[in-house]
Structure 1
Amino acid sequence: MTAACLMSTYQPLALSFSKGLGTRLWDQAGREYLDAVAGVAVTNVGHSHPRIVSAISEQAGLLLHTSNLYSIDWQQQLAQKLVRLSGMDRAFFNNSGAEANETALKLARLYSWHKGIEQPLVVVMENAFHGRTLGTLSASDGPAVRLGFNELPGDFIKVPFGDLAALEAVQHAHGPRIVAILMEPIQGESGVQVAPPGYLKAVRELCNRRAWLLMLDEIQTGIGRTGQWFAFQHEGIIPDVMTLAKGLGNGIPIGACLARGKAADLFTPGSHGSTFGGNPLACRVGCTVLEIIEEQDLLENAKLQGERLLARLRIELADEPNVLAIRGQGLMIGIELKQPIRDLTLIAARDHGLLINVTRGKTIRLLPPLTIDEREVEMIVRGVCRAVSAA
């Protein structure tokens, strides 16, 4: 129940946590839970990681904010690390995923302006989710998130995710006006919808032929979630623009928009900005997150444990009549149900000490920290199976 003094934007469980450590959370009564949500793919290196705690504590005693009127060393270090890991050229930092996607959309507009296209269009995907601002809401899909927000910016064309024929049709119908494609490599909010093999590569080739920007929203899939630093790396491609947030700060708000080639040179002084974006605290934490993932080989662990979790779920839920599909990549897994189960997240937490997420009513979404081990994989499998059966 939401407190009377808060706007009614959420419907939280009657469950509040007092501390966390690694893959575990403890509620105010001291009960322990295995966290298979990670703050919706945020706490990728776990709760209260000692190096994150140390970085926050030390930086808080040194310097939190100066603004982008001045050079920020930690911002430059984080940009260098991200550019090295991704193959991109430049980065812009802000505070959230929605802001990162707004930055990408502004790049698309500038790109069209330089090309002399007066009424540009951006191709987006059905069932996508890119944020809650008016611009990113326009690029998203689904009546629940758009209800009541009429007259949204209409510079988008929606096509089915994974459908190359639909992209070809849009190309023939609107080609001269299209400047970019914005998409998630794996659609998270719509139920962990994984692109068919070869799809991203084909989209990359189409963008090359048409001189469109390929803009990938890696806010949920990035920073090791799928077993690579970024999901596009599974297909051996590089986008023109990529957006990040969530796992980059492990709980400290930060967003980033990376670009390469022509897209990296579009902004000029004054054309974009952020008061808090790229401050010393957020960027130092971001650097520390990347170092932890590298040093602890968490990409390999995400790949290994993700494969184990996916295989075990498929075996144990094979005869469950309400399970329609199980899919995912790395530690981003969805279990689609034929019929929604009311209060499934509450059942899992209350009866099995397991925190899961159910998106759009009927897909269990598992997003545990990248640090989980084989024993915890088995705990997740048992908890999910029992919760589904009990419901």
Structure 2
Amino acid sequence: MFYVKNPSTLNKPWILSKQGDDTPISIPLEVTKHLKNYHIMAVEFLYHNYRKGIKGSILNQEPDMNYPLELSAFFRALVKGPAIILVICSRQSSCFWHFHLTNHADVEVIQVTSKNSSNTYKGNTKKIALLLYSDSLKLAEDLTEHDFFSVVIENFDQIAIKRVIKRLNGNFNVGLTCRSFYTDPDQKLQWNMLNWANPGCVGKLHEFYEIDNKNFELFNDNYRFWWMRLTWHFCESFEKPTDEDLETYSRQIENWASSNSLIFPSKQEKKPRKRKLDKTKPQDDIISDSCSSEATIISDVPIDKDVQLPIMDESPILTSIIKNFEISPEPILTRASVPYSQDRSLPYTQTQPTCSYDSESSVILSFMQEEDKPKPSTSRSESEDFILNLI
């Protein structure tokens, strides 16, 4: 565990570009002052992959980390000329996306409807973000030929297997999900999500089953290049917003929506669905069916080969934290006394998934006997050595 200060305390733009880049890329101060430390870690991850020419990424975060603000900051830094962005989101979150894209990404937001879905936007000279409700995916059929700068899909795990989703691609794809695949695994779904974000990155499905099973046994995280899991327990200085904070934020968005003639959807409580029991089926079979899941892990596939993954030549998040905080007289990172991580490297660069200790401990603790298992080798950059020396 470690500490990272909030970028808003810097009172200056956040620099994303690296030394030697042709064009300096930064998030302006007017946006940076709204960002928390967990926001900037997500933006750094996206920018690192974009800069490396990776086709896309998956952000896998716990609720209330504010995806709309993170993506808006990312687009504000990168999109400088005419471009079209597609955001697929729920009706409930649409006003939040509309607010942040308008005010922090500095783009014109257009709600996709049956009346305008066939627009081609040829000769477009503006920065445009198209908002499409996830329950109106039929309209996406008219958007498959667009040249999108980016396609962003909220709650991606819920619609990843839809056929039209596979045909929606931008120069940089971003899938968003709050589901923990450590406690609620589904190999085929995860394979579909990774292949949409970065086509071909995990090979064929049967190969993915084999490699994923081996990774699970050794507690390796071979998808960290394209998939970032971020929890509230990832960093000691992450501050989860209180219920009062969330209520204030929601009222702010509601007032803004009202002043801009937008409909702010009211919260609807989901009623639990009662399961109908088949009286003709033996009780034992019913119990067995309820315990099984479509997300079954195939554990009996023989492991006979490994996938050679690229070496992470730098630690992008930590490198930028050093660069942006190097003027601060305070320590950047300090080790916390956490029993299960006393002698480990920093979470992002190790070959283990960045799991939440509390919410995912049932999965993690079964793999903690590391002294009996071979430890995977990882390359360590100068920035990591620098931080470890500080610690």
TM-score, normalised on structure 1? 0.31
* Larger strand fraction of residues: 1
Computing the radius of gyration from Cα coordinates, the structure with the larger value is 2
